[in-house]
Structure 1
Amino acid sequence: MDYSIKQNDVVAKAFKNAPNNNQMLSPKIQRDITECFAKEVLGHVMKEIGNGVFSLLVDECRDVSDKEQMAVVLRYLDKCGLVQEKFVGVVHVEETTSSYLKSCIDLLFSQLGLNLEQVRGQGYDGASNMSGEFNGLQAKIMNENKSAYYVHCFAHKLNLVVVAIAKKIFEVGDFFDMVSVLLNVVGASCKRKDQLREHHQEEVRKAIGCGEIATGTGLNQELSLQRPGDTRWNSHYKTLLGLSKMFSSVVKVLEYVEKDGTDTGKRRQARDVESTKRELEKLRTNEGWDSLMRKVYCFCEKHDIPVLDMEDAYVNPKKPRQKTGINNEHYYCVDCFFAVLDLLGEEFNDRFNEVNSELLLCMS
């Protein structure tokens, strides 16, 4: 109601002159007004689409009341040739089977005056009930409309690359597990978060005083350690970036936990895809390894971390008495660094082949 008053002088005047007991502020009336707004917006969207074609985007998740909800978005071109993505509703689903989801979409389309024959694309995540080749939602819609081509969510493709690497390389998976434990320990309480914030602010002040970092508008904003999300591939990068910037402050908090802590259990887009592939190819060279090692040496020196002699023989921690026949440099460079890059390249090529990359490029 407040929004309507600000947008419309007639509504504002009527509200001002209305009796105190008739100002339409009760929850029931507010819901009715919201529903009227929704119908007006949907009517405008349906008028824009008309008899034209569109793509269907669907995602499902549980709300705060633990009920399964299905969100539906339509993607289409308006009269000016501009791509529009309009949210058209949330449908409560009692089951998450592909047949039930299909029936809910049919019901929603009938309410909106749409037809499955107008669908020219489908976009879902990789869950089998959605993307299954034979019994998934996309297959059931394709059976009725052969032109409703299904495209796997590209954001999930990138996430699957990271997940696949973490599963295939033990050291990488173990590393992310340790990062998760570290975040749990440091962020276990508001007190520890405050300590982390205070230590980092002190480090920033010292760095500014020494001229190590620049000052200016928008620089040196307050940082926090974000928890990575399993379905957001770039969140892992943001977590590691924040951890590297706040490393010394994190160490301070861990020292406090070790000394005074009471919980011993917690003391422990298309061009982007192509450019990423090229960067991986560059990193796969000896120059890429040397560049990484320079950064590692610099980081370790800054934080007083002992550095392994790369020429020493590599010792397998699980079998310390057994000779491996390789030195530390060979293990970390070939068996770890290059192995991860090779798997990354394979995953990118499998999930972003020429057809998918060209499709993504055309959509960008």
Structure 2
Amino acid sequence: MGNSGSAHNYSVGCFNNLKNSMTHIDKVMVKENEKLVAEARLRLTTTINSIRWLTFQGCPFRGHDESQNSLNQGNFLEMVKLLASYNKDVKGVVLQNAPKNAKYTSSDVQKEILSIVARKVQKLIREEIGTSKFCIMVDEARDESKKEQMAIVIRFVNKEGLIKERFLDLVHVHNFFQHATFIINVVSSSTKRNDELLAAQAEEIAREIELGELDTGQGANQMSSLQRPGDTRWSSHYKSIQSLKKMFSATISVLRSIANDRSVSKYSRGDAAGALQIIVKFDFVFILLMMEKIMKITDVLCQTLQKKSIDILNALDSVSNTKVLLGNLRNDGWDPLLQEVNYFCEKNDIDILDLNHKYVSFG
């Protein structure tokens, strides 16, 4: 038989291990995997519960300093730490005790979980509405970073005959006015640039008169400057769009001049180059002309409703007329708008997109 380290005893030990199926490598791996899965589920459950509570209470997630030495790591991490302090099982799998590649605390994970919750809530709202008639209420607002957002609220009558309102979504709208303001600020940054803009505008007016594209007469083709849109008054947005459209070619000329001017700072040249990339795109021109048509209609309503002499009947009549005009624009305005956009792009040497091509989404 030999001593304990003999080949015979070693073979006997291997045989006994072979007979014990619980020591087989596949069983050990399955058992270990089950443990890892259970820990990951507990860790993820803790993250989800923290996010649900903070969302329901309307609390921000992130902190100014989320480092390990911070006294306040933000609401989310502090909530996870609080839950861990009351449960040793949770404490053993979260934060420092979690694998570095599966902590489930990053901002990307938080956003993904929030998007899943949002889709489930939206699904419940759709099920609650069912086949009932509903209306959509939309309002524009800005966050702290001045980004425009569109709040969408659904109003409907439920099965019990009660009027209900449900917040459906908050959508970041196209930052057209932010881009327009940026372009105007770059071009109107100094008196010198304003003079260049007026000179370029004068040349453009003279060229168009020579080509017969502008009428002449007393008070026609007066010089003007770009107008910045205000934060609250939509009439200023309309005037800003009008001025930018009128001085579009002159604006491009000034932006190119700034971008190539070595006497200005590299930051000014960079801003001008960035503004130039924005303004010479088809989508910017399309939105510019589309918004001009829409706001030409809505501006009349805004001006009417601001009159002190307006009464409720005239106000309702103005709203009804505006709805009719917007409906006509939606139903019959596409082809004329597209023709105008194409002509405008050709006039300013901007590439025209082929809208018949297949759309491919990136990202």
> With structure 1 as the length reference, what TM-score do the two structures score?
0.40
Instruction: Choose 1 or 2 for highest CA Rg.
Output: 2
Q: Which has the higher contact order (CA 8 A, sep 6+)?
A: 1
